[in-house]
Chain A
Amino acid sequence: MSATLERALRARRDEGAKLLVPYVTGGLDEDWTQVLAAVVAAGADAVEVGIPFSDPVMDGPTIQEASTRALARGTTPASILADVRRAQVDVPVIVMTYYNLAYRMGDLRFARSLAAAGVSGAILPDLPLEESAVWEAEAAAAGVETILLAAPVTPDDRLALIAERSRGFVYGVSRMGITGERADLATSAGLMAKRLKAVTDRPVLIGFGISTPAQAVEVCMEADGVVVASALLRALLDGGGPEAAADFVGAMRAALDAG
């Protein structure tokens, strides 16, 4: 049960693959689990499922819009987890949400509900090292790997600590800022990856603003992989369904495989 995510990602990396992890807001539309299936078929190595929160302070307009839409459909943490369980996704599933949803349910209960739905990892961006120890322990007890985030302003000593405590992979934030599509790749993205690679053997994935196959390829000159969220969600919000998601992820997969 334990380290499902990290084992899977390390295995893929050992095969020489660059890791591709698309993000989908849970409950976005009626057919959202078909989107999950489509991105997996198109070559995702793991998928990130966002459980929408009313006040997503790390998210830009696209994920905010997706969150609002999903919440307006009556989506709850329980309904998303039930959908995930039914969907039988055959790559590791990671949940990303904000801490209050776990806090309200109770850390251990929340972690167990993730595990029961077959979720293997969790990202809680508003839990920095100083606040995450209790959650990390409860999550580990339930068999859920907690992925920690590092930011460009994180000093070296903190970076090493984050990499050490993180499970599954280490999530490097590409730039100082919130999620959202970007025309240009921040120069901080490559540096973030390089600094993390220097302190850890765990897979290092970079996210926030990775919008195009070319950007993904560029980041992966340093990083082991990328997390892609807003640009994919944009396609879905603009009316594209599972096929649009598959096209988007497929193009990224092809570019990463071609190097």
Chain B
Amino acid sequence: MTSLHPTPGMGEPSTSGRFGHFGGRFVPEALLPACLELEDAFRSAWADPAFRSELDALLRDYAGRPSPLTEARNLSRQLGVRVLLKRDELNHTGSHKINNVLGQALLAQRMGKHRLVAETGAGQHGVATATAAALFGFECIIYMGEVDTERQSLNVFRMNLLGAEVRPVSSGSRTLKDAVNEAMRDWVSSVETTHFCLGSVMGPHPYPWMVRELQRVIGDEAVVQCRALLDGGVPDVVVACVGGGSNAAGIFAGFVDTTARLVGVQPEGGAAIGRGLPGVVHGSASMLLQDEHGQVSEAHSVSAGLDYPGVGPEHAHLAAGGRAEYPSVGDAEVLEAFQLLGRTEGIIPALEPAHALAWVAREAGRAIPAGATVVVNLCGRGDKDVAHVAALLGRPTDAG
């Protein structure tokens, strides 16, 4: 009902895949036909009630949706703002990534592809993709930077248990950016049999739009849950972490046409919005950390899932139009927030959503007025990070 927004909403991109100035299809000719095919396939599937109900059933019976919206009473008391947690960490495989992957796997099946390739940073998207591949009987190859195979080694083993092959990537910064490069190289060579199961709202059109639509279930659920909890009202602030930006896009999509403030929290060392410049990499134009010549810079973050120098084009557009804001937080604050939620609520978050929590903890009573209601997208659980955080905090995990 508040469709009178002067600022951009989250509609369909233009026919060239643009959100304002951002987006597009900057891919080699060899991939262009596949992008067009995927766009057609997604458009027809998304309009097909049979596809939608098949996906809904998978999300419900396999992934465990809807995820609850939890009052974080202890944390709220401590911070002086009312914190509601959207519990996507309770999904099967432990993060929001499964929402997107189940949709893309169904689509791959519809397109007659029997092999999935994907990039992964934290390993959550890789695990989700390996899971869907096992379920659908697809071959599955996951590209993961060598730095990440080390700091998220548990997830490497999980992917192996699920029958996927994990290929460590040793080029460049050996993190998510390079895993994307390698997955694209695979796709160029295998596009006729293979679907590139991209894990975030990035890449060439239609990915940013398609992945946002597949993640909007988070926001669509949350807006209804908020209405029930807030006497028909909407929260004051909706907060999510931003790597590529898929969990943020998913929850924002539910609230973009309301009065809620939308906040996407970036890692300081990967704040493409704010510290980046317009650039083109991995298939789309967006904001990008780069040097004066246009060489892409390496991001730095304690969180493998946010260690990425770019950001999804729709976020660049929402930032340019002022509809969403994109502050950043540092690793030390993130490690604090990671521990805070465990102590106050008995929930260990992934390091990625710990960024969103860190911003709330820092800004409660400042940028977030005392007493305001804040929805935090708790998009992943911290199991994968426990060993890494223990090492960072200097606590041995095998001391018995």
- Residue ranges of A at the interface with B (Cβ–Cβ < 8 Å): 53-58, 60, 64, 68, 71, 76-78, 99-105, 125-131, 148-155, 158, 162, 173, 176-178
Report whether A128 and B28 are in contact in the complex, using a CB–CB cutoff of 8 Å. yes
Known: A100-B279, A176-B188, A178-B189. A130 touches B32 (CB 8 A): yes
Q: Which residues of B contact A104 (CB under 8 A)?
A: 277, 279, 290, 292-294
Known: A104-B293, A178-B189. A99 touches B28 (CB 8 A): no
Report whether A100 and B294 are in contact in the complex, using a CB–CB cutoff of 8 Å. yes
Residues in B155-198 with C-beta less than 8 Å from chain A: 171-172, 177-178, 181, 184-185, 188-192
Q: Which residues of A contact B26 (CB under 8 A)?
A: 99, 126-128, 131
A-B contact list, 29 entries, CB within 8 Å? A53-B294, A53-B295, A55-B178, A56-B181, A57-B184, A57-B185, A57-B282, A71-B295, A101-B295, A102-B294, A103-B294, A104-B292, A104-B294, A126-B26, A126-B283, A128-B27, A129-B32, A130-B16, A149-B29, A153-B30, A154-B29, A158-B33, A173-B29, A173-B30, A176-B188, A176-B191, A177-B189, A178-B185, A178-B188
Residue of B nearest to A110 (CB): B294
Partner of B188, one of A53, A77, A103, A177: A177
Partner of B294, one of A60, A105, A176: A105
Residue of A nearest to B288 (CB): A100
* A177→B33 CA distance, assembly (Å): 14
Q: Which residues of A contact B349 (CB under 8 A)?
A: none
Report whether A176 and B192 are in contact in the complex, using a CB–CB cutoff of 8 Å. yes
Residue of A nearest to B184 (CB): A57
* A54→B177 CA distance, assembly (Å): 10
* A99→B279 CA distance, assembly (Å): 9
Q: Which residues of B contact A173 (CB under 8 A)?
A: 29-30
- Residue ranges of B at the interface with A (Cβ–Cβ < 8 Å): 16, 24-30, 32-34, 171-172, 177-178, 181, 184-185, 188-192, 277-283, 285, 288, 290, 292-296
- What number of A-B contacts does a CB cutoff of 8 Å give? 114
- Which 9 pairs between the two chains have the least Cβ-Cβ distance? A104-B294, A151-B30, A177-B189, A54-B295, A101-B294, A128-B32, A100-B294, A54-B296, A151-B29
CB distance from B166 to the nearest CB of A (A): 19
Report whether A126 and B28 are in contact in the complex, using a CB–CB cutoff of 8 Å. yes
* A177→B181 CA distance, assembly (Å): 13
* A100→B26 CA distance, assembly (Å): 10
Report whether B293 and A64 are in contact in the complex, using a CB–CB cutoff of 8 Å. no
CB distance from B394 to the nearest CB of A (A): 34
* A99→B285 CA distance, assembly (Å): 10
Known: A103-B280, A176-B191. A131 touches B24 (CB 8 A): yes
Q: Which residues of A contact B181 (CB under 8 A)?
A: 55-57
Report whether A154 and B296 are in contact in the complex, using a CB–CB cutoff of 8 Å. no
Report whether A58 and B192 are in contact in the complex, using a CB–CB cutoff of 8 Å. no
Residue of B nearest to A154 (CB): B29
Report whether B33 and A154 are in contact in the complex, using a CB–CB cutoff of 8 Å. yes
Report whether B281 and A100 are in contact in the complex, using a CB–CB cutoff of 8 Å. yes
Q: Which residues of A contact B285 (CB under 8 A)?
A: 103
Q: Which residues of A contact B295 (CB under 8 A)?
A: 53-54, 71, 101
Report whether A126 and B191 are in contact in the complex, using a CB–CB cutoff of 8 Å. no
* A59→B168 CA distance, assembly (Å): 18
* A173→B281 CA distance, assembly (Å): 21
Residue of B nearest to A64 (CB): B171
CB distance from B195 to the nearest CB of A (A): 15
Report whether B29 and A57 are in contact in the complex, using a CB–CB cutoff of 8 Å. no
Residue of B nearest to A101 (CB): B294
Report whether A153 and B280 are in contact in the complex, using a CB–CB cutoff of 8 Å. no
Q: Which residues of B contact A177 (CB under 8 A)?
A: 30, 188-189
Known: A55-B177, A57-B184, A176-B192. A150 touches B29 (CB 8 A): yes
CB distance from A27 to the nearest CB of B (A): 12
* A103→B32 CA distance, assembly (Å): 20
* A104→B293 CA distance, assembly (Å): 7
CB distance from A97 to the nearest CB of B (A): 9
Residue of A nearest to B173 (CB): A54
Report whether A100 and B29 are in contact in the complex, using a CB–CB cutoff of 8 Å. no
Partner of A60, one of B32, B184, B185: B185
CB distance from B189 to the nearest CB of A (A): 4
Partner of B192, one of A71, A148, A150, A153: A153
Residue of A nearest to B278 (CB): A103
* A104→B288 CA distance, assembly (Å): 11
Interface centre among A154, A158, A178 (most CB of B within 10 A): A178
Q: Which residues of A contact B294 (CB under 8 A)?
A: 53, 77, 100-105
Residue of A nearest to B17 (CB): A130
Residue of A nearest to B296 (CB): A54
Report whether B296 and A100 are in contact in the complex, using a CB–CB cutoff of 8 Å. yes
Residue of B nearest to A103 (CB): B280
Q: Which residues of B contact A103 (CB under 8 A)?
A: 278-280, 285, 294
* A53→B171 CA distance, assembly (Å): 13
* A78→B172 CA distance, assembly (Å): 22
Report whether A149 and B28 are in contact in the complex, using a CB–CB cutoff of 8 Å. yes
* A78→B295 CA distance, assembly (Å): 13
Report whether B293 and A55 are in contact in the complex, using a CB–CB cutoff of 8 Å. no
Q: Which residues of B contact A151 (CB under 8 A)?
A: 28-30
Report whether A153 and B185 are in contact in the complex, using a CB–CB cutoff of 8 Å. no
CB distance from B168 to the nearest CB of A (A): 14
Known: A57-B185, A177-B189. A100 touches B290 (CB 8 A): yes
Report whether A153 and B290 are in contact in the complex, using a CB–CB cutoff of 8 Å. no
